[in-house]
Structure 1
Amino acid sequence: MRDRFTAAGGPAGELGYPTTGVRALPDGGAFAHFENGSIYWSPATGARVVSGAVRQRWAATGWQNGVLGYPTTEATDLPGGGRAASFQGGAIYWSAATGARVVGGPVRDAWLAAGGDAGDLGMP
């Protein structure tokens, strides 16, 4: 987790200063919170930065204990605008117009097959 924090620029980077120490989780994972986000780690997914509206929506689903599980990617910019991050049980898609939405399973598969955010359906 320290390596991921350093790679994100340390306290001068996107996360800012830590607000907690690294805390172990009962399932073998760990996390640390920062002024502008969090880093979550599990043996299966590695260390991932989660921030902004994606983090808020993930928190509302129950963090790693919810339907989404741990993050498997960090949020990336989408070609049509907005951001997306993948998790073990689905993904969160965010745009200024739609907010942060959880999409998973066959619905996500069909949406991606139809072009995802750049397709006719647009953002969820």
Structure 2
Amino acid sequence: MWLLDELEKLKENETVAVRYKNESITYKELWKRSECIGAYFIAKGWDKKPIVIYGNKEIDIIPCMHAALKIGIPYVPVDTLYPVERLKKIATAVEADVVINFSDVSDVWKNCISSKEIYEIYKENMFYGG
């Protein structure tokens, strides 16, 4: 896939890749964060079915999407403007293994990773970049 090829060429680049409000990450950080998340998905056995990403403009949505592309699984972005009931219907319809939850709502799916847990995945991994 051309996007992965282009991002791999930039994986050591220190220029800003994603910016939102006062937060930004470089291409290097994007690459490393997606490596952490992808490895975590594989370790959990979540590398066969789609993942659902429930959020709205958070920086770490992009590394989650990138991780899914790297390990060859689809991702389904769902905006937090939708109620949790709608999220659950979507996750059921796509037979998602996991929901990455950037909202303040807890327990939205049987396998759910919060934004705090995403940061813990980064910290536990030697690739942490920010």
Task: Name the TM-score, length of structure 2 as normaliser.
Answer: 0.29
Higher helix fraction: Structure 1 or Structure 2? 2
TM-score between the two structures when normalised by the length of structure 1 = 0.29
Q: Which has the higher contact order (CA 8 A, sep 6+)?
A: 2
